[in-house]
Structure 1
Amino acid sequence: MLKRVFFSIILPLGCLVGAIFILLTINTTYPKAANDSIPTIFIHGYRGTDRSLHGMIRRLDQKYDWATETLTVNVSPDGDISTTGTYDKSAKNPLINIVFEDNRATLPQQSMWTKKVMSYLQQNYAIKKFNAVGHSMGGGAWVAYLASYEKNKSYPQVNKIVFLAVPFYPEEYVNGDQQVDIKNANNVHTKFAEKMAKQLPDNTEIMIIGGNLEDGSNSDGEVKLDSVLYGEKLFAHQKVVTHVIKGPQATHSSMHESTVVDKYVGDFLWGQK
C-alpha cells in the first residue's frame, strides 16, 4: 500500500516541485552587447506619444541589459524643450526618447524641431555622434533632418540608422487620415529621402524593417511593404540591411513591441557578443 502511494502520489509530486524549483531559479540570459558611449535617439510616429517607443527602450535596458535609458526630450508645439531623466555619457549605450507634443505636425516642422533638439543635445551634453531610430513618420523626421543638416558639423553626426515601418514614397499609407496628412503634391517625403541619400557618407549603416501581414494587402495594415523597401533603392550607395516581419504579429503599431525586432535592433546597433 505504501509503495503504491509513493509511486502514485509522492513521487510525481516531488518531480513537480523539483521542476518548479528549477524554473524559478533559472535566469533568462541574453547575448551581451558591446559597450559604446554613442547615444541612440528615438523618434515616434504620427500621433505617437512618450509611450510609443518607451516599451522598446525599457526592454533594451531592463530586459536585455543591452543599453541604458537616460533622457526623454519633450518638444512643445512652440518648440520649447524640456527633459526628464539624467544623461550620463559614460552609461552603456545610452538611449534618448524624443517626444513631439504636436504629434501631427508636418515633416518640415518636425525637421526644425529635431534640429533644435540635436543642437540642444550637443550644447548641453556634448553629443557629437548618434544612432537614429525612427518608427513610421518618426523615420520621416530623421530623413528630413538628415537631408538638411547631416553635413553641418555644428550638429551631431549620424552613426547608424534604423527605419522601422517607415514609408519612402508618397503612396505610403493604406488607409486612414494619415495618408491625407503626409502625402502631398510635392512628394515632400521622397524628396527629403533622395536628398538625404546624397548627403550621407557611403559607409553609413542603415537597417530597414517592414511588416507584411500576409493578408493580401502586402502591408503592415497601414504602410505598404513596397514603400518601406523602396529605401533599398534610395540608399543603394550606403550599407543597407533589411528585414521583413511576417504574419498577424506584423501590424504597424506592433512593430516596436516585437522581441524579434528588438533582437534585430540590438544586433545592428551594438553587435551583441
Structure 2
Amino acid sequence: MLRRRLLLVLGIGVLLVGVSACGVSKHQAASDLPNASKYEPTLFFHGWGSSYHAEEQMAHALVNAGLTKTIMRATVSKQGKVTLTGRFHEADYHPVVEVDFQDSRNSSPQQWGRWARGTVVKLQHQYHIKKYDVVGHSMGNMAIMYGLLGNSAKMPKLQKQVDIAGHFNGILGMNDEPNRMKLQPNGKPTSMQPEYRALLPLRQTYPRQTAVLNIYGDKDDGSHSDGSVSNASSQSLRYLVAGRAKSYQERKIVGPNAQHSKLHDNVQVNRVLIKFLLGSK
C-alpha cells in the first residue's frame, strides 16, 4: 500500500513538472516579447506550383546582409489554417517569414489573397506586429495585391513591398503574347485582363505609407519579357499603386539569368532587394 501511494505521488509530481515545462515553452513562443511594436517581419511569398524552397536563397541573403538572424516559416493549409514554425527572438526586430502555401497549384488569385491576409493576421495575433514588409515572386505578387484588397484599419501597416516577376496583367502563352501589350504614359494598359481589373480599387485604397520596388526580367532576346511574363505586364503595377504609394521604383534585370524562374536566385536581384529593405532600418 505504501509503495502504491509513493508511486502515485511520484506520478503526480512528474505530471506537474510536465505541465510546468509545457507552460514555459508556450510562454517563450508567445506574443509577450519586450518592445513588440518594434518587430517588423519580412514575409516572402512564392509563386504558383512552388513552395518556400524558392524563397530560401533570398531569405538567407538577408541574413548574410545583417538584416536578421531569424528565419521562420508560416505554412498555410488548403483550408487556410496558418501554422508557424520557429519564433521571433528578442531584439531581432526584422525576422524573415517564409510563407508556404500547401495548395500552390490553386489558380484563384482571390484565394491566394485570403491566404496572404490570413498569414499577416496570424502574426498580428501571435506577436502583436504593427508593421511588416513583403517580397513576392510571380503568383506571390497576386497574393500580396489581392490580400491588400481586403485590408482594414485594424491590420498591421505594410511598409515595403517588393514585387519580382509580377504578372499583374497577363501571362505569355495564356492571355498575352510577346510585344503585344502596350502601356500608356501613366502605366495604364491599353487592354486589361479581368484579374487586373479586379485590382483597380487599389488605386483609391493602396496604403500611402508603403514604398514599392518592382523588379522584372528581360532575357534580351527581343521578346521584352522574362520568358513567361512581358515587361509590360510587370510594369502595369505602376498604374495600380504609384498614385498613392509613398514611393514607386522599377528595376529591370537583363540577361539569361533574368529568366522568370531564375529571378528569385539572382545575385543582382539580391543586391537590389537588400539595399531597398535595409534603407531606413
Same fold at TM > 0.5: yes
| Deviation at residue 109 of structure 1 after TM alignment | 1.0
Partner letter of residue 173 of structure 1?
I
% identity of equivalent residues? 28
Matching residue of 1:158: 158
C-alpha distance after superposition, 1:35-60 (max 9, x if no partner): x7311111101111120111110121
| Deviation at residue 153 of structure 1 after TM alignment | 2.4
C-alpha distance after superposition, 1:167-202 (max 9, x if no partner): 221xx22237999xxxxxx94431343222321244
C-alpha distance after superposition, 1:55-95 (max 9, x if no partner): 1101211x322333332000111222222222226214211
Aligned length: 227
Q: TM-score, normalised by structure 2?
A: 0.75
| Deviation at residue 120 of structure 1 after TM alignment | 1.1
- Kept in 2, the 8 Å contact 1:147–1:197? The answer is no
Q: Which runs of 5+ in 1 are unaligned?
A: 1-35, 180-185
- SS of residue paired to 1:262: helix
User: 1:209 and 1:123, CA in 2 relative to 1: closer, same or farther beyond 3 A?
Assistant: same
- SS of residue paired to 1:207: strand
| Structure 2: distance between partners of 1:130 and 1:71 | 14
1:56 aligns with 2:58: yes
| Structure 2: distance between partners of 1:168 and 1:38 | 26
User: 1:128 and 1:74, CA in 2 relative to 1: closer, same or farther beyond 3 A?
Assistant: same
- Kept in 2, the 8 Å contact 1:147–1:192? The answer is no
| Deviation at residue 101 of structure 1 after TM alignment | 0.5
| Structure 1: distance between partners of 2:194 and 2:92 | 37
| Deviation at residue 203 of structure 1 after TM alignment | 4.3
Where do 1:107-186 residues align within 5 Å?
A: 107-149=109-151, 152-169=152-169, 172-175=170-173
User: 1:141 and 1:89, CA in 2 relative to 1: closer, same or farther beyond 3 A?
Assistant: farther
- Kept in 1, the 8 Å contact 2:202–2:240? The answer is no
Partner letter of residue 55 of structure 2?
L
| Structure 1: distance between partners of 2:224 and 2:176 | 18
Where do 1:218-229 residues align within 5 Å?
A: 218-229=224-235
Where do 1:62-141 residues align within 5 Å?
A: 63-88=64-89, 90-105=91-106, 106-141=108-143
Where do 1:10-25 residues align within 5 Å?
A: none
Partner letter of residue 265 of structure 1?
L
Poorly superposed stretches of 4+, deviation over 4 Å: 176-179
| Structure 1: distance between partners of 2:160 and 2:256 | 29
| Structure 1: distance between partners of 2:203 and 2:82 | 29
- SS of residue paired to 1:97: strand
Q: Which runs of 5+ in 2 are unaligned?
A: 1-37, 178-191
Identify which of 263, 271, 275 aligns with 1:263.
271
- SS of residue paired to 2:147: helix
User: 1:69 and 1:223, CA in 2 relative to 1: closer, same or farther beyond 3 A?
Assistant: farther
Partner letter of residue 122 of structure 1?
Q
Mean CA deviation greater in 236-245 or 110-119 = 110-119
| Structure 2: distance between partners of 1:194 and 1:234 | 6
| Structure 1: distance between partners of 2:268 and 2:114 | 33
Matching residue of 1:210: 216
| Structure 2: distance between partners of 1:68 and 1:189 | 37
Mean CA deviation greater in 82-91 or 160-169 = 82-91
